[in-house]
C-alpha cells in the first residue's frame, strides 16, 4: 500500500498516476492536507518501503511568468501569469516525483512523466511554433523523460496529423452520431452500450429521438458543411437494414455532404454485419467502415463474449471489398486474457493476409465499469498475500511477464503494419492502460482516419447526437468560465441513460440549441 498526501489538489492527479505507473498492482490512498509544509509526501507501507517529502527550492518556486506554449511571449494578465506559475510548479513537482520513483525502482517509463491521454499534443504545439523535429524530440526526452523510441513516434505522428488537419475548412465541423447498442457486451468494454436484444422494443423510439436531435443540429450548423461524419457506438450495425436506411437518410437531409472529406460507419462486430446492411451503408456515401475482430484467436473470441468466428471476420471483410469499400479499418487488442505474444503474432499473420487499409492496435485498458475489470479485481483480492500485504514473488513475476508479453505484441504490431505499408498517424493513451503502453492507429497514406485525429487534437468543433454523446465547441479565442478558468473548448454532454435520452430529448435539444447558437455566433 502507498499513501500520497498533497498540500493541494493541484498535485493529486499527476502524483497518483505517476506512482500508479511505477507500482500498478499496489493499492494507493491519497488525501490533501493543506497544513503540511511539503507539497507532496509519499510513503510505502507493507509493500514498497520508502518515504519522501517533496518541496521546491526558493528558486524553483518562483516560477517563470513566461508562457509555456511560447517562451518568447510574456503573459499579459495576472490570471495567465498565476496559471502558468501553478502549471510550472506542478510539472516541477511531478519531475521530482518521477526521478525519485525511477531511482527507487530502477525503472524508467516509456512515456516518462507524461500522464495525459494525448502525448502527441505537446509535439503538435511545438510544430505549430515552427520548432524543428530534432528540437521537439530533445524537448520530450529532457523535460519529460520520454524514451527515444516514443519521442520519435510522437513527433512523426504529430507531423502526419498536422498535414491531415490542413485539409479542414475554417468554417467546417464534424458530426458524431452514437448508437449505444451491441449484439452482446464484450467483457473488456466500458463504453456506454447495451445488448440490442434488451432494447429491441425501444430501438425505434431511440432512433426517433436521435433523428430529432440530428435535424436540430442540422439547423444549428447554419448551412455549414461537415468535414467528417462518424457513426459510432456501441455498434451501429446492431440496427436493422431498414433502421440504418432511415438514420442515414435523415443525416443526408439534415446536412450537406457534398464536400465531406470522410464518412465513417463503425460496423465493428462481424456478427452484426450483413450484405444488406453493407449495401445500405454503401448507398449513403459512407467512405470508411470498420470490421473489428480484436483478435483472430477463436478461443479468445469465445472467452471475451464475441459471438462470431475468425472465419466470419474474413468473410465479412471480403464481402465489403466486393461491394466496393476501399477504406476498411480493423481493430486489435494487445493483452487480451489468455493470449501471449505468439497468439498475437498469429493474429497479425492472418490480418496481413486480409490486408486492411488501416489498423488500430489497442493496449488493453481495464476500467472500473468493465466486466473484466471487476473479474480481475476479484481475482487480485483472492491472490495469496504475504503477512505484510505484498504480493507473492511469483505473482509479481507473472505481472512483469504480462507487461513483457504486451510490449512484444505492440512491437510486432508496428512491424506488421509497416509490412502492410501502413504508417502510424494517431496515438492516444488511456487510464489504467497495461504497462504504460499506448493505442496507435496505422493507415495507408491516403486512408488515415481524420475524425480520430480530431478527437485527440481537439482542433475542430464536433457536434454530437445520441445517448452519452459529447459535443465539443472549439472557439477561436479563449473565454472565461464561471469558475474563473479560461478555455477555448466547451463541452456539452448528453445523458448516457437510454431511457432518459428518449424521455428528455426535447429538453436536451432546447438546452443545447441555446448554448451552441451562442457559441457559434
Structural contact between residues 512 and 471, judged by C-beta atoms closer than 8 angstroms: yes
Cα separation, 379 vs 454, whole angstroms: 38
Beta-strand relationship, 439-443 and 40-44: unpaired
> Does pLDDT of 125 surpass 50?
yes
pLDDT average, residue stretch 390-401: 54
41/390 Cα distance (integer angstroms): 21
pLDDT tens digit string along 141-197? 999 999 999 999 999 999 999 999 999 998 899 999 999 998 776 666 656 677 777
Instruction: Pick the more confident residue, 377 or 104.
Output: 104
Rg (CA), the chain: 24
118-127, 322-331, 475-484: the lowest-pLDDT one: 475-484
pTM of the model: 0.85
What pLDDT shows up at residue 233? 86
SS (H, E, C) 241-260: HHHHHHHHHHHHHHCCCCCC
DSSP 33: -
Among residues of the chain, what percentage have pLDDT more than 90?
Answer: 64
Q: How far apart are CA 32 and CA 11, in angstroms?
A: 9
Nearest to residue 169, comparing CAs of 225, 229, 231, 251?
Answer: 225
pLDDT at position 229 is 98
Of 331, 434, 427, 330, residue with least CA distance to 373: 434
* Cell 510574456 sits on residue: 74
List of long-range contacts for 208-214, beta carbons under 8 Å, 24+ apart: 208/502, 209/501, 209/502, 209/505, 210/177, 210/247, 210/465, 210/466, 211/246, 211/247, 211/250, 212/505, 212/506, 212/509, 213/465, 213/466, 213/505, 213/508, 213/509, 214/177, 214/250, 214/251, 214/254, 214/465
Q: Is the pLDDT of residue 57 over 60?
A: yes
Amino acid at each position: 500500500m502507498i499513501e500520497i498526501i498533497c498540500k493541494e489538489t493541484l498535485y493529486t492527479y499527476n502524483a497518483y498516476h505517476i506512482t500508479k505507473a511505477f507500482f500498478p498492482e499496489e493499492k494507493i490512498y491519497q488525501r490533501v492536507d493543506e497544513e503540511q509544509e511539503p507539497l507532496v509526501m509519499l510513503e510505502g507501507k507493507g509493500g514498497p518501503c520508502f518515504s519522501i517529502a517533496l518541496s521546491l527550492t526558493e528558486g524553483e518556486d518562483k516560477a517563470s511568468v513566461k508562457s509555456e506554449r511560447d517562451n518568447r511571449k510574456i503573459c499579459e494578465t495576472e490570471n495567465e501569469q498565476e496559471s502558468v506559475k501553478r502549471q510550472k510548479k506542478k510539472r516541477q513537482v511531478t519531475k521530482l516525483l518521477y526521478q525519485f520513483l525511477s531511482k527507487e525502482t530502477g525503472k524508467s517509463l516509456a512515456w516518462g512523466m507524461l500522464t495525459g491521454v494525448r502525448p502527441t499534443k505537446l509535439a503538435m504545439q511545438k510544430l505549430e511554433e515552427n520548432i524543428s523535429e530534432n528540437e521537439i524530440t530533445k524537448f520530450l526526452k529532457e523535460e519529460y523523460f520520454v524514451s527515444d523510441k516514443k519521442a520519435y513516434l510522437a513527433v512523426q505522428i504529430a507531423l502526419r496529423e498536422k498535414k491531415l488537419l490542413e485539409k479542414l475548412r475554417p468554417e467546417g465541423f464534424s458530426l458524431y452520431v452514437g448508437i449505444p447498442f451491441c449484439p452482446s457486451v464484450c467483457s473488456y468494454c466500458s463504453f456506454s452500450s447495451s445488448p440490442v436484444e434488451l432494447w429491441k422494443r425501444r430501438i425505434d423510439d431511440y432512433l426517433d429521438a436521435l433523428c430529432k436531435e440530428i435535424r436540430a443540429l442540422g439547423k444549428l450548423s447554419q448551412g455549414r458543411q461537415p468535414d467528417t461524419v462518424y457513426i459510432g457506438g456501441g455498434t451501429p450495425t446492431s440496427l436493422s437494414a431498414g433502421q440504418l436506411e432511415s438514420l442515414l437518410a435523415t443525416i443526408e437531409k439534415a446536412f450537406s455532404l457534398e464536400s465531406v472529406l470522410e464518412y465513417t460507419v463503425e460496423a465493428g462486430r462481424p456478427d452484426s454485419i450483413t450484405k444488406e446492411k453493407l449495401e445500405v451503408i454503401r448507398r449513403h456515401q459512407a467512405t470508411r467502415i470498420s470490421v473489428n475482430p480484436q483478435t483472430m484467436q477463436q478461443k479468445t473470441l469465445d472467452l471475451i463474449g464475441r459471438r462470431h468466428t475468425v472465419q466470419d471476420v474474413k468473410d465479412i471483410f471480403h464481402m465489403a471489398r466486393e461491394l466496393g469499400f476501399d477504406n476498411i479499418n480493423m481493430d486489435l487488442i494487445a493483452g487480451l486474457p489468455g493470449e501471449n505474444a505468439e497468439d498475437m503474432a498469429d493474429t497479425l499473420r492472418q490480418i496481413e493476409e486480409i490486408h486492411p487499409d488501416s489498423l488500430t492496435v489497442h493496449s488493453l485498458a481495464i476500467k472500473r465499469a468493465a466486466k473484466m475489470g471487476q473479474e480481475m479485481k476479484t481475482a487480485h483480492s483472492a491472490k495469496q498475500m504475504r503477512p505484510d500485504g505484498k504480493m507473492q514473488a511469483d505473482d509479481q513475476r507473472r505481472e512483469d511477464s504480462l507487461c513483457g508479453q504486451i510490449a512484444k505484441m505492440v512491437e510486432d504490431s508496428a512491424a506488421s503494419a509497416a509490412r502492410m505499408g501502413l504508417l502510424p498517424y494517431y496515438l492516444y493513451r488511456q487510464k489504467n492502460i497495461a504497462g504504460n503502453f499506448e493505442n496507435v492507429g496505422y493507415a495507408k497514406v491516403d486512408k488515415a482516419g481524420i475524425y480520430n485525429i480530431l478527437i485527440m487534437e481537439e482542433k475542430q468543433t464536433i457536434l454530437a447526437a445520441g445517448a452519452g454523446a459529447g459535443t465539443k465547441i472549439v472557439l477561436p479565442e479563449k473565454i472565461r468560465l464561471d469558475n474563473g478558468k479560461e478555455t477555448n473548448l466547451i463541452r456539452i454532454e448528453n445523458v448516457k441513460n437510454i431511457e432518459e435520452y428518449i424521455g428528455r430529448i426535447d429538453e436536451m435539444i432546447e438546452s443545447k440549441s441555446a448554448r451552441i447558437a451562442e457559441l457559434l455566433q
